[in-house]
């Protein structure tokens, strides 16, 4: 395995606080507009070949997580 640190290249920091702070300053409406614009742009490029029976397919993930109802879990994760 060849590491950049061996070449004297600075290894990027794992501290993401600057990114998180900058992201938190972005207006929610701007993010919504960018998301919708990207989604519409991509949808316009979908060709018939990628549709299922000529239709768009929406996927919903119904995953769940379950934990045993132990005293320890009840104390650390109280129900609201």
Write down the pLDDT at residue 4.
Answer: 63
Write down the pLDDT at residue 70.
Answer: 85
SS (H, E, C) 9-78: CCCCCCCCHHHHHHHHCCCHHHHHHHHHHHHHHHHHCCCHHHCECCECCCCCCCCCCCCCCCHHHHHHCC
Query: What's the predicted TM-score (pTM) here?
Result: 0.43
Task: Kindly give the confidence (pLDDT) of every residue in the chain, 80 residues in length, as a single tens digit, with 9 standing for 90 and above.
Answer: 456 666 777 777 888 899 889 988 999 999 999 999 999 998 888 888 888 888 888 887 878 877 778 888 788 877 76
């Amino acid at each position: 395995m060849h590491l950049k640190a061996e070449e004297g290249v600075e290894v990027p920091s794992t501290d993401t606080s600057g990114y998180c702070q900058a992201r938190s300053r972005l207006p929610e409406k701007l993010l919504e507009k960018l998301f919708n614009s990207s989604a519409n742009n991509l949808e316009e490029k979908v060709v018939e070949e990628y549709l299922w029976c000529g239709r768009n397919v929406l996927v919903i993930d119904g995953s769940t997580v379950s934990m045993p109802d132990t005293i320890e879990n009840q104390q650390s994760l109280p129900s609201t």
